[in-house]
Structure 1
Amino acid sequence: MIPKLRGRGISSTDALSEALGRPVSNQEGLTSEGTVVAYWSLLDYYTDESRIWTSVEWAQHLDDPNWQHPFAASLQGDRRAILHLSVRLLPDDRELTPAEWAEVGHRLARVMGIAPPGDEQACRCIAVRDQSHRLDLLANLIREDGNWAALPAQVLHMLAAECRRIERDLGLLSPRDHHAGPFQQHTPTRAQAIGDLVDSIPVAELSDEAHRHFAAARLLVEKAARQLGTTPSNGPTLAHQLEWIARHSYSLESDLAEIIPGQPGTRTPGEGLAARLPAGLPSARAARTR
């Protein structure tokens, strides 16, 4: 079983369309006993046994917390509340029953911290089963009480580890052992478990993660340069050395953006530094040769 963290967005309509493999529609009904194989515990308060929700209504239901708590955001100020995660079986795996797919959906929601057992304020989430050998979990990270659900610190590792446990419990194949029998026990190492998941993450997501680290490091270097530029002694010289490091960090970011299109824009190298450093200081190259 291979998990794929498809990222977060602002619209559950887009996420549900991707999960279904087609646009949502007011003419298409999705039942909680068919396509939607698992859902958050309080959904029964909103549904009627004789009623079938359309795919548009399911998407609107997931979006409701965005309107009920319009100022909710993560600690970093991120408002992309719709989480999309999918898992798929290997081609040689057996087909799971609806009850087994439901178990997979509930277990993934628990390990992600989206639906802790007994939590009446948990996130709204649904597990959609409408593509062969695949399950999609959609959730709104804005909880019923308006708080933002924090994902586990090592979410990728925890997802990989849970998938390995599901494989053992349901007798599924492991990505690292394609030729194993369907009921063979397989316990991968930690490095293998992480490797399985990293292989499934889109290159753009990995690039975006690297981009954030580069940008954070460059900001720290620039901050140090500003502070040193106003100190006596050899402070200005060190400031220019740090400026040189910031410029090279910018070059790495630019190279990354060229390799993977669509990356966030970066600032001009050393932008703001020249204006903030004392005038008349030697160039970075001169500072390095002293």
Structure 2
Amino acid sequence: MIAHIRAAEFFPSIPLSAALDRPIAEQDVLGDLVVASAPLDASVAEGGPQEWMFADWEEYLMAPQSLHPYAAGPNANGPEIFHMSVRLHPADRELHRPEWAEIAQRLTRVAGLAPAGDEHACRWVALQARPGRLDVIANLIRDDGAWARQPYPLARALMEECRRIEADLGLVPAQPQGGRPLTADLPAQRPVLPRTVADQSPLAVAAQLATLMCQLADENNGPITSVRGLVEQAAHRLEELPHSYGPDAAHRLELIARRLYGIQQDLEATAADLPGASQRAAHATRPPAAPGATPARRTR
């Protein structure tokens, strides 16, 4: 699951249209697309939230702006409408409505929109209008007239909560387990080939080189997996861009990720064909040096 903080706006119509991926009219009824929202005041509009039209939701989200400019915001002239979205991994299962609602409530708490037990929190609505995606739209001016206090850095707080949600709901993690840092955060290193000793047998040399290939192709900590993960994340981000070039570039990156996965498989196959497989098997069956290590597992 990857969270994306989108550009703030002065009016809810733009983020609501982006959530639906189509133009929106005042008479549009959002209905079951709304999976969760802040507690609603019965006086705002008649009927339940499933019966509200876009105009009702716009009025609901815009209401706190009547308190502006008294809200103590970081920028007196900045936009108040906050928009964030999360996208599931393509291999994730289909979530049920209560699960989407739980994700929305947890993210709004972490984002400072609806702290637990706060009776004057921000007004927000969460829509699940596109496959594998949830959009949360809120007004950063609270009902008491103050500006919402969001954590800094917000992106990291949301990322950490996404990792917890993945674990709690059994979703495919955006990064492999074990806290492996992204490749961009690692110092540039070149793998070192094992040095050949004069008295080593050809089988021993082949086994060492095969072990190196397996390390390069390792699904948990290998460098190719790190690159593949970054490419996949970039593809997901590009796919969300509301521009024509986004989906095309995302598709190309997905093809690159598949080729990287094919390279990993080719390295493993080459290693398996080299002599000395018995030595590698004996080495691989030794007890792990660190407790809690998990074997490599394919996610595709």
Give the TM-score category using the shorter length.
Answer: 0.5 to 0.7
Residue 97 of structure 2 corresponds to: 98
2: distance between equivalents of 1:74 and 1:50? 32
Shift of 1:59: 1.9
Residue 21 of structure 1 corresponds to: 21
Residue 36 of structure 1 corresponds to: 34
Residue 120 of structure 1 corresponds to: 119
5+ residue gaps in structure 2? 186-228, 239-300
> Residues 129-164 of structure 1: CA distance to partner in whole angstroms, max 9, x if unpaired?
111110001010000011111211121111100000
Aligned with 2:134: secondary structure? Answer: strand
Residue 174 of structure 1 corresponds to: 173
TM-score, normalisation: structure 1: 0.60
Aligned with 1:29: secondary structure? Answer: coil
Task: Give the total of aligned pairs.
Answer: 193
2: distance between equivalents of 1:59 and 1:71? 21
> Which of residues 188, 193, 201 in structure 1 aligns to 2:179?
188
Name the aligned partner's letter for residue 149 of structure 1. A
1: distance between equivalents of 2:56 and 2:149? 26
> Residues 57-94 of structure 1: CA distance to partner in whole angstroms, max 9, x if unpaired?
21221111112434435234342111100001111110
| 2:2 equivalent to 1:2 | yes
**1:225-240 matches, cutoff 5 A:** none
Aligned with 1:7: secondary structure? Answer: coil
2: distance between equivalents of 1:74 and 1:154? 17
Name the aligned partner's letter for residue 102 of structure 2. E
Residue 158 of structure 2 corresponds to: 159
> Residues 190-224 of structure 1: CA distance to partner in whole angstroms, max 9, x if unpaired?
668x997x95768xxxxxxxxxxxxxxxxxxxxxx
Aligned with 1:41: secondary structure? Answer: coil
Residue 12 of structure 2 corresponds to: 12
2: distance between equivalents of 1:113 and 1:50? 26
Closer, same or farther in 2 for the Cα pair 1:45/1:104, shift >3 Å? farther
1: distance between equivalents of 2:126 and 2:181? 27
CA contact (8 A) 2:19 2:135 kept: yes
1: distance between equivalents of 2:162 and 2:83? 16
1: distance between equivalents of 2:103 and 2:135? 10
Name the aligned partner's letter for residue 22 of structure 1. R
CA contact (8 A) 2:64 2:145 kept: yes
TM-score, normalisation: structure 2: 0.58
5+ residue gaps in structure 1? 178-185, 203-290
Percent identity over paired residues: 41
Shift of 1:46: 3.1
